[in-house]
Structure 1
Amino acid sequence: MRLTVVMATYNGARYLPEQLDSLVRQTRLPDQVVVSDDHSTDATWEVLEAFAHRAPFAVRLVRNTGDKGYVHNFLNGLKEADGDIIFLSDQDDVWLKDKLSTVQAAMEDAHASLAVHAARVVDQDLNPLGRLLPRIPRSATAPAGDLGDGPLKSFPLGFCLAFRRTAAVWALPRLQDYPETFRFYFGHEIPLYWASKALGPTVYLAQPLALYRRHGMNASRGMEPPSATQALIQGADDYAQFAHHQQIRADFAAWLRQQNAPNPHERIDAFLESMERISKARSESMEYRAALYREPNRLRRLQGVLRLAWQGGYGSRSRGALGLKSLAKDVASLMNSPRRP
C-alpha cells in the first residue's frame, strides 16, 4: 500500500526543516511526498529543493505562479498524489516517528477510509502547552456513513487526517469553483472528511501523533471547542450563531451534491443528503432555542422547552436534535436565570 504526504507551504522557511526532518525519521517512510508552494518569497523553495535531493523517497515539488490561498494550495498538491492513503501536512508542525505506521495499521485493521488522530499543542519552540487538539477523549471506530463525529470534540484539522485517495478523486473536481463563504467555514478538510466518512469506517485515535505548533502566524485558526464552563453560560446570541453555522453546513452539503462533476458516488451523495437534512433540523432547533433564551417570561420559557422536547428537539444529535444534555441545561438555565442576550 502506497502512502503519500501532501504538504502546502508558504513562506515557511523558519520551521519547515523540522517538519521535513520528521518525515525522514518515520519508522514507515512515505512512498511519495508532494509539496505545493504558494509562491513563497523567503527561502522556502530552496529548502524544498535541498530536501528533494536528499530524501529517501520520491518528492514532487509544485510551485504556484501566484497566491492561491492555503485551501487551493492544498487542493493543488492533492492533484499530484498517487498514494492509496493520503496524509495532509502543514509546514510548521513536527510528526512523531510512528505516525505513518500507526495510522496505516489502524486503517488496515478496521478497513477504514479515514483516520483522525490527536496532536500535542506546543509553542514555537516545541514546548508543550498542556492540551491536545483535535480533542479525541478515546479511540473508537465509527461505521461507514456515520453522520456524527464519534469521540471527536473539535474541528478535524487537516494535518491529523489520513484518507483513501478515492475521496480526493471525488472532491477535487467539485472544488474547482469553491465559493469563498464555504472555504472560510469548511476549508479543504471538511469535503474530504465527509466523503471519506461516507465511503467506509472512520478510525478516531486518541493517541497524539504530532506536535501542533502554535506560533501566532498559523494559517489555520486552531478551532478549539468551547470548554464545559463556557458551554454552560451560552445564551441566545450563541445559539443564533450556532443556527447560522448549521444552515451554512446544510447549504454546503447541498452545494456539493449539486456539482456536475465526474466520478459520482452514490454513498457520498446519500451521506450529503442526510447531512443537509440533519443540519437544517439542528439549525431550526437552535433558532427556537435562541428565541427561548430571549423570552422574559419564565413560564413561557418552560412551556417552550416542553414543546421542543415533545417535538423531539432534544432527541439524538445524530438525527439533527440537540441531545439530552441540552434539555438538562435549558431547564436549569431558563428556570433559574434572568433573560440573557
Structure 2
Amino acid sequence: MSEINILMATYNGEKYISEQIDSIINQTYNNWELLIRDDNSTDKTKNIIKNYAKRDERIRVLEDDLGNVGVAKNFEILLKQSNLDYIMFSDQDDVWMKNKIEILFERIKKCEAKYSDEIPLLVHSDSYITDEHLYVVEDNFIGEKGMNKGLNNIIFSPLVQGSSMMINSNLKRYILPFPKNINIHDHYISIVNEIVGKRLYINKPLMYYRQHSSNEIGVNKNYLNKLKKVLKSDFELTTKKTRKMMDFIYNNFHEKLTNKQKKIIKAFFLITNSNYRFKKAYYILKYKFKTKDGILALIIKVLLKNK
C-alpha cells in the first residue's frame, strides 16, 4: 500500500523528464504514488507522462480544463489531490539518488517518534548542482546553512528546495490554500512550517539539481561572482507578491507566531517597504537577516539598489 504522494508539475519538459521519472521508479523505496499534472505543454511532455502512466500503475496523470496556471498553482492543485500521509515535490528535470525517498521517509518517521505524529513536519536534504549533462559543478546547494533555523534565516533566502523536501499531512492542512499569485511555493511552505512545525535538514545531497537554459539560477564558487549575481538580480523577495505572501502569513498565522517571530516579520516589512537604505541595513543587522550568500550580500543589495 502506498504511503507517499510524489507531486510533479510539468511544462515543456520533454528533454529531461524521462530521466527524472526513471529515477523515481528506480528508488529503493517503492510504496509511493506519483501524481503528475501538466500545465498545458506545447511539446511532447503530455505523451511522455501518459506513456509512463500506462506502464506503471503507481503513476497517475491528473486531467482538467484549467489550462496554464503556473508552477505554484500547479503544485497547489496537485497537493489538494494528494491523499496519503506523506508528500514529496518533484521537479521535471532533476534526478534523484536511489535512496532519496528511503532516507527522507526514515528521518520523518524518527521525527514523529521524537516529537509527535500530530505535529507538522518538514524534512529536506542538500543537492548536487550539475550542468545540463548531470556533470557535478558544485558539491552542495545549501551546505551547512541548511542547519540554520528561524524566520530570519529563510525569509530572504529560501533554504528549502521543494524538490528536496518531504512533508507530512499535518503540515498540508496548514499550507492550503496557497496565497494568491505566489511565485515560489516551496518558500511559502518552508516559512509556514517554521511557524507551526519542526524542520529537519539532512546535510548530504540526495539529488542532482540540473542547471540549464530553462531554469538556470547560476552557481559560482567564487564569492565575488556570487555577489555580482545578487546585485544583478531583481531581488525577487522584495516584490509586491512576496510582501503580500508575508502579509497573508502574518494575518493567517498570527496566533501561532511567537513575539520574536512577529518582530522578525514586521522588520521584514520595514526593510522591503522603507525608502531609507541605512534603515534597511540597521534592521538586517538587528535581526540577523541573511540570504543564502550571507548578511553582507543582503546589506550591499539594499544599499545599492532601490526598493
What range is the shorter-chain TM-score in? 0.7 to 0.9
CA contact (8 A) 1:141 1:202 kept: no
Structure 1 counterpart of 2:212: 215
More displaced stretch, 121-130 vs 269-278: 269-278
CA change 1:84–1:157 in 2 (3 A) is same
Which structure's CA Rg is the greater one?
Answer: 1
- Secondary structure at the counterpart of residue 271 of structure 1: coil
Per the TM alignment, residue 82 of structure 1 is displaced from its structure 2 partner at its CA by 1.4
TM-score (norm 2): 0.75
- Shift, 1:92, TM fit: 0.9
Residue 161 of structure 2: aligned partner: 157
In the alignment, the residues of structure 2 paired with residue 284 and residue 169 of structure 1 have an alpha-carbon distance, to the nearest angstrom, of 30
Q: 1:272 to 1:214 in 2, by over 3 A?
A: farther
Residue 35 of structure 2: aligned partner: 34
Query: Runs of 4+ in structure 1 displaced over 3 angstroms?
Result: 138-142, 152-155, 221-234, 241-244, 246-251, 256-259, 271-277, 282-289, 312-316
Distance 1:193 1:159 in 2: 12
CA distance in 2, matches of 1:125, 1:321: 32
Cα deviation, residue 20, structure 1: 0.7
Q: Deviation of residue 95 (structure 1)? A: 0.4
Q: Where in structure 2 are the equivalents of 1:55-74 lying within 5 Å?
A: 55=56, 58-65=58-65, 66-74=67-75
- Please give the alpha-carbon distance, in whole angstroms, between the structure 1 residues aligned to 2:83 and 2:123: 18
State whether residues 8 and 36 of structure 2, in contact with CA within 8 Å, keep that contact through their aligned partners in structure 1.
yes
Counterpart position of 2:144? 137
Range with bigger deviation, 190-199 or 76-85: 190-199
Aligned to 1:168: 172
Distance 1:70 1:247, change over 3 A: closer
Among the aligned pairs, what percent are the same residue? 21
What's the CA shift for 1:269? 4.6
What is the distance in 1 between the residues matched to 2:85 and 2:44? 31
Partner in structure 1 of residue 266 of structure 2? 280
Q: C-alpha displacement at 1:147, in angstroms?
A: 2.7
Change (3 A) 1:340 1:113: closer
SS at match of 1:137: helix
Q: Secondary structure at the match of 2:201?
A: strand
* CA drift at 1:169: 3.0
Distance change in 2, residues 1:198/1:340 (3 Å): closer
Match of 2:115 in 1: none
- CA distances 1:225-268 after superposition (whole Å, capped 9, x unpaired): 9964468899xx96xx8798298755422224546xxxxxx6x7
Q: Cα–Cα, structure 1 residues 224 and 107, in superposed 2: closer, same or farther, change >3 Å?
A: farther
Structure with the greater relative contact order (CA < 8 A, sep ≥ 6): 1 or 2? 2
Q: Which residue in the other structure is 2:77 paired with? A: 76
Q: Using a 3 Å threshold, how does the CA distance of structure 1 residues 228 and 119 change in structure 2: closer, same or farther?
A: same
| Alpha carbons 1:155, 1:224 under 8 Å: kept | no
* Inter-partner Cα distance in structure 1 for 2:218 and 2:64: 27
1:255 aligns with 2:263: no
Q: Give, as a single letter, the amino acid of the residue that structure 2 aligns with 1:193.
A: S
Equivalents in 1 of 2:17, 2:237: separation in Å? Answer: 37
Q: Residue 121 of structure 2 aligns with which residue?
A: 113
Q: Is the 8 A contact 2:143 2:203 kept in 1?
A: yes
Change in CA separation of 1:282 and 1:37 when aligned onto 2, cut-off 3 Å: closer
Query: Does the C-alpha gap of structure 1 residues 248 and 35 become closer, same or farther in structure 2, counting only changes over 3 Å?
Result: closer
For 1:195, give the aligned amino acid: V
Match of 2:189, as an amino acid? L
Q: Which residue of 1 aligns with 2:22?
A: 21
Deviation of 1:292 (Å): 7.8
Shift of 1:124: 1.5
Contact 2:131 2:211 in 1 (8 A): yes
SS in 1 for 2:36: strand
Name the counterpart of 1:190: 187
Aligned counterparts of 1:78 and 1:115: Cα–Cα separation in 2: 17
**Over residues 93-130 of structure 1, what are the superposed CA-to-partner deviations in whole Å (9 max), with x where a residue is unaligned?**
11000100111112222337001211111112111112
Correspondence for 1:123: 131
What residue ranges of structure 1 are gaps of 5+ in the alignment?
260-265, 294-304, 334-338
Alpha-carbon contact 1:6-1:34 (below 8 Å) kept: yes
Look up the match of 1:301: none
**Match of 2:202, SS?**
strand
In the alignment, the residues of structure 1 paired with residue 100 and residue 163 of structure 2 have an alpha-carbon distance, to the nearest angstrom, of 11
The one-letter code sitting in structure 2 at the alignment partner of 1:168 is K
TM-superposed deviation, 1:6: 0.2
Question: Partner of 1:270: helix, strand, or coil?
Answer: coil
